[in-house]
Amino acid sequence: MILSENLSVAEFSRSDTAKRKGIDNTPKGIHLEAAKELAKNIFQPIREHFNTSIFISSGYRSEALNKAVKGSATSQHSKGEAIDIDMDGHKGPTNAEVFNYIRENLNFDQLIWEFGTKTNPDWVHVSYKKGGPQRKQILRAVRNSAGKTIYEIWKL
């Protein structure tokens, strides 16, 4: 099944952990509908702008998979509303270029510069809420001295 011209459900829901643990990670119902909106409003515009493959390191997470990976109980990944993009090691734009394109050009709910350096995140988290409204919240994920993840408001 196809979510957009360049994104299949299989790619959006691919998970090594789900395979290893025998978890069905196929979005259905409202999660599938949310995934279609995310693909149309976020993934496909990125793909078309950069005219190259865009690599998703994490997309949909069923409730069982989210528990297995110790994801947040409120994760938008579990609603079909979020993807993590990681262009490291691939031809095409950097993670920072993807982040900045989204920030400057797309209507999104949440955009996170995930760890990395001041010049390039390790990956980009972006979400889109079906039916909106979109918060346009921009954050940076960092680890504190105890190793706990903290989300700071993005500053240019």
Three-class DSSP category at 31 = helix
Q: Domain residues for 107?
A: 2-153
pTM for the whole thing?
A: 0.94
- What integer pLDDT is reported at residue 2 of this predicted model? 95
Query: Tell me, what CATH number does 114's domain have?
Result: 3.30.1380.10
pLDDT of residue 50: 98
pLDDT, residue 84, reads 97
Can you give the pLDDT at residue 75? 95
Tally of domains within the chain: 1
- Residue 20's Cβ-count burial label (10 Å; 0-12, 13-18, 19+) is exposed
- For the chain, 156 residues long, the average pLDDT of each consecutive 10-residue run is 96 96 97 98 98 97 96 95 96 97 98 97 97 94 93 86
β-sheet with 56-58: strand ranges across: 56-58, 82-85, 123-127, 110-114, 137-143, 149-153
Place of tokens 């989204």: 102
